[in-house]
Amino acid sequence: MPGVRPDRFTEARTPRHAALSLVGEPVMFPHIKKYISLLTEKRISTFLVTNAQFPDSLLDLPPVTQLYLSIDAGTKESLKSIDRPLHRDFWERFLESIDIVRKKKIRTVFRLTLVKGENSDEIKEYAELIRRGQPDFIEVKGVTYCGYPGSSNLTIKNSPWHNEVIKFVEDLCEEINDPRYRASSQNGDAQQAPIAEYGLAAEHAHSCCVLAAHQKYYFDDQWHTWIDYDKFFELVESGQKEFEGLDYCDVTPEFALFGSPQAGFSPEDQRWFRKKTLAKNSQLEDPLADQTAPSSVGLVVAPGPAQDV
C-alpha cells in the first residue's frame, strides 16, 4: 500500500499501548479491572480516559499507566450543555471524581477540549477545578470538527487555531499560579503554602494540542513528561503498592518541547503538505505556517521512548 512504512506495519501487528477511551465509558465495563490487569501482565500500557461521572469505579482501579479525566467544562451549566449528562447529580459526581483523582499516585491528566463559544472563556473556573484536583498534567486540545452535523450544532467555527489553544493554556497557567491562591498547611496553623504551579511543557501543533505539566516534572533543568514503560511494568510486577508518576517518568525529547521548531512533529518522520504553496514531502520547517483546524489525532502525552514514536 502506498505510503505505508514496512517497519510501522510490522510494529502495528504487536500492540504495546491500549487507549481505553473514545467510545462509551470504559469504567462501566464490568470486567474493566481484570482487563487492565491482563493488559499489564502482557506489558501493554494502559491509558484510561473517564468522563468523571462514575467516581466509585475510580476508587479501587488497578494501576494504569496514565489516568485521564475529561474536564469538558468549568461550570455546572456548561458541563450540562456540552456533555448532556444522564445523571441529575452529574456535577457532584464530577467533583467527587476530581477529589478521588487528586489522591492517586500514578500519572494523572486533566484533558480539556476547547470549544469556541462554549467553554473557551472559562479560565478562572477551569483553574479552580485544577487547583482542586492537582493533576500531573493538563492536556488542552482544540475540538475536532468532523464534518457531519448529526445531533450536534457544532461547526468549523467552534474549532480553535493552535495559537488560540496556546494562548488559552498560557492564561490558564497564569491563573493557576496566581500567588493570591494559597492553601492552609499542616496542623491547622496559619502557615500558608503555595498551590502547585504548572508550566507549558510540550505541544503537538499538528494536533492543535498543548501540554502543561506540574512543576515537579521539571528537574535537572529539563522536563520529564515522557514515560519509561519498562520501569512502570517493573514497579507493578514488584508488587509495590505505593509508587507515583515520578517513579517512571522520562526526559521529554527536544522536538516535543513547547516552543521547539518541530512543535512536536518527530524528526524521524516526514510531513506531507497538502497546500501547493508549501513544499511537499519536506521536513517540517515552520509548524505554524500551515495553520489548520485541529486534526483528529490526539496528543500522546508521553509516548516514549523516542525510537518508539
Judge whether 299 lies within some domain. no
Judge whether 108 lies within some domain. yes
Judge whether 229 lies within some domain. yes
Q: pLDDT digit string (tens) for 88-101?
A: 999 999 999 999 99
User: Sorting pLDDT into bands at 50, 70 and 90, what band is 242?
Assistant: confident
- Quick one: pLDDT at residue 185? 34
User: Sorting pLDDT into bands at 50, 70 and 90, what band is 282?
Assistant: very low
Contacts of 65 (CB under 8 A, 6+ apart): 45, 46, 47, 106, 107, 227, 229, 232
Q: Structural domain tally of the chain?
A: 1
What is the pLDDT of the chain when averaged over all its residues? 84
**Closest to 100 in 3D by CA, of 40, 39, 53:** 53
Judge whether 306 lies within some domain. no
CB atoms within 10 A of CB 141: 21
Judge whether 295 lies within some domain. no
Average pLDDT over residues 270-286: 56
Judge whether 283 lies within some domain. no
**Domain CATH code at residue 250:** 3.20.20.70
Residue % of the chain over a pLDDT of 90: 61
- Quick one: pLDDT at residue 189? 39
Judge whether 264 lies within some domain. yes
Judge whether 301 lies within some domain. no
What are the DSSP calls for 260-301, one per residue? -TTTT--TTS-BPP-STTS-TTB--S-TTTT-----SPPP-S
CB 61 within 8 A of CB 33: yes
Average pLDDT over residues 174-188: 63
Eight-state DSSP code of residue 46: E
| pLDDT at residue 259 is higher than 90 | yes
| C-alpha–C-alpha distance, residues 133 and 126, integer Å | 11
Q: pLDDT digit string (tens) for 79-91?
A: 998 888 889 999 9
User: Sorting pLDDT into bands at 50, 70 and 90, what band is 55?
Assistant: very high
**Single pTM value for the model:** 0.82
Tell me which residue range forms the domain holding 60: 6-182+194-275
Longest Cα–Cα distance of the chain, Å, equals 67
Query: Residue 76 is which amino acid?
Result: K
